[in-house]
């Protein structure tokens, strides 16, 4: 019951979501010292997979952003985002 209520609240919070998404991405790339262009390029070099996974988990779990939107913001496919989430749920 509580999970359904939490999901409903995330869905209703969609109005301010684009700004929150941009803010979260900027916060993470600044903290991790990664350029936003590099994050959105789909690069798999260095710490990019780890940074992208962090952003993905936060956007999907905390903000309720769709996998498709996360993929667009992250410069990767929806399949890549699904794999990131699958790995995070199995660990």
In angstroms, the CA 91 to CA 89 distance is 6
The DSSP annotation for 64-83 comes to ---HHHHHHHHTS-HHHHHH
Contact status, residue 56 vs residue 67, Cβ threshold 8 Å: no
pTM: 0.66
In angstroms, the CA 32 to CA 17 distance is 22
* pLDDT (tens place) for every residue of the chain, 91 residues total: 667 776 666 665 555 667 777 788 778 778 888 777 777 777 777 778 888 888 888 888 888 888 998 888 788 899 999 999 998 776 6
């Amino acid at each position: 019951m509580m999970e359904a209520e939490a999901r409903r609240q995330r869905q209703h919070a969609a109005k301010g979501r684009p700004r929150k998404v941009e803010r979260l991405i900027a916060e993470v790339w600044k903290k991790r010292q990664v350029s936003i262009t590099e994050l959105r390029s789909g690069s798999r070099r260095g710490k990019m997979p780890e940074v992208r996974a962090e952003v993905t988990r936060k956007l999907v779990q905390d903000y309720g952003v769709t996998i498709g939107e996360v993929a667009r913001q992250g410069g990767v496919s929806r399949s890549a985002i699904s794999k990131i989430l699958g790995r995070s749920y199995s660990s």
